[in-house]
Structures are given as C-alpha cells and as structure tokens.
C-alpha cells in the first residue's frame, strides 16, 4: 500500500477530517474524478464540522462517514 494512505485508520475506525488527509483525498480524486463539485478536499473540509465528516480506510477504499448517531451515510473512493 502507498505510504500516503498510512495516515488513515482502518475500518471500523474513523478520524475527523483534517489538513493531514488532503494529499490522500487529492490523490483519490485525481485517480477517481468525482462527478459532483462538492467532492473536493476544500469543500469537505469547510463542511466537515457542520456535518461531522470522518475518514477511514476499508481495504483499498477511502471512506468518508458523514453524520453521526442514527443519521449518517458513507462515501467511498471506488
């Protein structure tokens, strides 16, 4: 695995999105271009506090968990 991804905890662990994950998300969005403009590091970071965006790694997938409690959803890199 690319050392770049070492900053991400393995599922089921997640951590709050921070500046540390910018290179990971930049690389992910370069490899898998999003179809909506909201999927950029800047947009996710700005809204991260309001929507409790957390990041983790599931095998080779970068996963974003948005929300908390009984109201949340996942975004994945593949």
Structural domains for the chain: 3-76 (3.40.630.30)
* Residues 21 and 28 sit within 8 Å (Cβ to Cβ): no
Share of the chain above pLDDT 70, in %: 94
Question: Quick one: which of 62, 61, 66, 74 has its CA closest to 43?
Answer: 66
Q: Where are the beta strands (DSSP E) in 1-78?
A: 15-16, 53-58, 61-68, 71-76
Taking the C-alpha atoms of residue 37 and residue 58, their distance in angstroms, rounded to an integer, is: 24
Interval 26-61: pLDDT, tens? 998 898 888 887 888 999 999 988 889 999 998 888
């Amino acid at each position: 695995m690319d050392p770049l991804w070492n900053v991400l905890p393995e599922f089921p662990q997640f951590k709050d999105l921070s500046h540390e994950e910018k290179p990971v998300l930049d690389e992910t969005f370069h490899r898998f271009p999003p179809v909506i403009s909201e999927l950029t590091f800047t947009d996710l970071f700005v809204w991260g506090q309001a929507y409790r965006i957390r990041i983790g790694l599931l095998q080779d997938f970068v996963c974003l968990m948005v929300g908390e409690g009984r109201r949340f959803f996942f975004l994945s890199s593949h």
